[in-house]
Amino acid sequence: MEKFFEKLDLAIKNDILVKMTMSKPVSKNSELRNIYVKPILLKNNKMYQFTYRYERRDETKNFDATQTIEQVRSLVPEVFQNVSLFTITEDVTLLVSKKGKPTLMCKKVQENREQDFSHDHEKQRLIDPTNPWWHLLGLTTRDGKVTADMQHKYKQICKYVEIVDGVMRQTKFDDEIHIADMGAGKGYLTFALYEYLTTHYDKKIVMEGVEIRKDLVLKINDIIEKCKDARPCVSTIHFVQNSIDEYKPSNIDVLIALHACDTATDDAILKGIRNNAKLIICAPCCHKQIRHEMEKSGKTDAITKYGIFLERQAVMITDTIRALVLEYCGYKTQVMEFIEIDNTPKNVLLVGRKTDKPVDKEAIAKQIKALMEQYGIEEHYLWKNLWKNCRTY
């Protein structure tokens, strides 16, 4: 425990603290779910902003260095059992068991990190609600104010942009970035990312939203046309009516698919792989195909014999194989939670970043086959279709 506080003290003294998260409340009835800490500049003074995440609201308070350490000491382990400290050089995780036993894990950071001293209220304006498309999409009033019933959606959009931006900045692109948003729906997230990238990236952004519902595609393309005079930057975004499976892009640098239902997530991943996308970002959905395979086989263990655990196991197996298939095809994979976007069970983000490093395909294939055999899975949609009409793999 004291080792953790030593590291926290050094991170603050050496000015290398990037962010910190306190989670897993001791009390199950606590309305306070998490606390996020980050450095900020307040009237040219270094402070630390604490964002208290409650069930239905957020509160922020600012503390100086001494107060910050005092606050954390008062909260851990009495209020929270887990702490994640991210510095420029190291990731430090403190886990406290129910019996009060602390475990400290430290990992050196390989990538380059920078501190972000902006305030949360500044971050929430990653997109500009006064842009005309937001009113036409139903997010704001005519004068650019987010409507009361869309406040939560607005926060979701901003958090989504923040996450995708963080992923994209770790990838090298040419002067023109082609992005395909699969199953784009009403277009909120597509417009948000396009707006942010065209504003903050010194590159040409070409965005294509893929949506199977004709009425939505017609509506959104009409919005784009109406906005071209006021905002010429929308000239490189458009929507196409198509299924993910049948969509034939000319070029994809970044493929995005959020909650594409049934096996559409697999179709999206496969589309990115076959088009040699540099970056594949998916919020996977669903697990129905694998659950059906597991039920059909009749194989159960101490976990899967219970219905709710069978469902959760099917989710984990489905997404694990998806991640392994990406690795098999030369992608460095990362699986993370993004609860901040949407408080639903579908809170996993699967990221695949194309690399030139050699891949032990035989070892990965064995892992996939062993996992399928263990749970009586005859086929995984993505693994099966990777080979269909394709000699590459």
Segment 42-66, tens digit of pLDDT: 888 899 999 998 876 788 999 999 9
Beta bridge partners of 17: 87
Q: Is the pLDDT of residue 218 over 70?
A: yes
Asked if residue 114 is part of any domain, the answer here is no
Q: What is the pLDDT of residue 68?
A: 97
Question: What local confidence, expressed as pLDDT, does residue 96 receive?
Answer: 93
228: confidence class by pLDDT, cuts 50, 70, 90? confident
Closest C-alpha among 253, 180, 194 to residue 223: 194
Same domain, 171 and 73: no
Backbone angles phi, psi at 7, to 5 degrees: -65, -40
Q: Assess if residue 98 is contained within a domain.
A: yes
- Whether 273 and 354 have beta carbons less than 8 Å apart is answered as no
Phi, psi of 292 (to 5 degrees): -60, -40
pLDDT reported for residue 341 = 41
pLDDT digits (tens, 9 = 90+) for 349-384: 889 999 999 999 999 999 999 988 888 888 888 888
Please indicate, yes or no, if residue 174 is contained in any of the structural domains: yes
Helix (H) or strand (E) holding 129: none
Q: Are residues 363 and 326 in the same domain?
A: yes
Structural domain containing residue 276: 120-386
With respect to residue 242, please indicate whether it lies within any of the assigned structural domains: yes
99 and 145 share one domain = no
Please tell me whether residues 199 and 340 are part of one structural domain: yes
- Total structural domains within the chain: 2
For the chain, what is the total number of helices (H) and then of strands (E)?
A: 12, 14
Check whether residue 322 and residue 345 sit in a common domain: yes
> 104 and 224, same structural domain?
no
Is the same domain home to 102 and 145?
A: no
Which of 108, 141, 157 is the C-terminal boundary of a domain? 108
Residue that finishes a domain, picked among 53, 85, 108? 108
Task: Label residue 344 by pLDDT band (50, 70, 90).
Answer: very low
Which strands make up the sheet holding 102-108, listed edge to edge? 58-63, 45-54, 32-42, 17-25, 80-87, 90-96, 102-108
Per-residue confidence (pLDDT) for residue 31, from 0 to 100: 86
* pLDDT(345) > 80: no
Does the residue 377 lie in any domain? yes
Q: What is the 3-state secondary structure (H, E, C) of 249-274?
A: CCCCCEEEEECCCCCHHHHHHHHHHH
Q: In this predicted structure, what is the pLDDT of residue 119? A: 61
pLDDT tens string 284-334: 766 777 767 777 777 666 666 666 777 787 788 888 999 999 999 999 998
The CATH number linked to 327 is: 3.40.50.150
> In terms of domains, do 177 and 267 share one?
yes
Is residue 182 assigned to a domain?
yes
CA distances from 381 to 38, 265, 313, 329 (A): 42, 10, 17, 16
Closest CA to 287 of 223, 349, 380, 219: 380
For the residues 269-297, what does the mean pLDDT come to?
83
* Cα distances (Å, whole numbers) of residue 109 to 13, 114, 242, 355: 19, 12, 42, 19
Contacts of 160 (CB under 8 A, 6+ apart): 189, 192, 193, 338, 341
- Of 108, 135, 155, the residue at which a domain comes to its end is 108
pLDDT tens track for 74-98: 999 999 999 999 999 999 999 999 8
What pLDDT, on the 0 to 100 scale, is given for residue 139? 94
Instruction: Say if 393 falls within a structural domain.
Output: no
Kindly indicate the confidence band of residue 338, based on its pLDDT and cuts at 50, 70 and 90.
low
The encoded tokens of residue 352 equal 């695949």
Asked if 159 and 57 sit in the same domain, the reply is: no
Q: Within this chain, do residues 44 and 163 fall inside the same structural domain, yes or no?
A: no
C-alpha closest to that of 299 among 317, 273, 323: 317
* Helix ranges, 14-131 (H): 65-75, 120-123
The per-residue pLDDT for range 239-250, each reduced to its tens digit, is: 999 999 899 988
CA distance 225 to 231: 10
The token pair that represents 219 in the structure block: 């509506």
What rounded mean pLDDT belongs to the chain? 86
| Domain shared by 30 and 60, yes or no | yes
Q: What are the CA-CA distances from residue 247 to residues 182, 243, 272 (Å)?
A: 9, 6, 11
- Are 291 and 363 contained in the same domain? yes
Span 144-187, pLDDT tens digits: 899 989 988 888 888 889 889 988 988 999 999 999 999 999 99
> Locate tokens 């304006």: which residue?
125
The answer to whether residue 115 sits within a structural domain is no
- The larger pLDDT score, comparing residue 102 to residue 292, is at 102
- Confidence category of residue 343, pLDDT binned at 50, 70, 90: very low
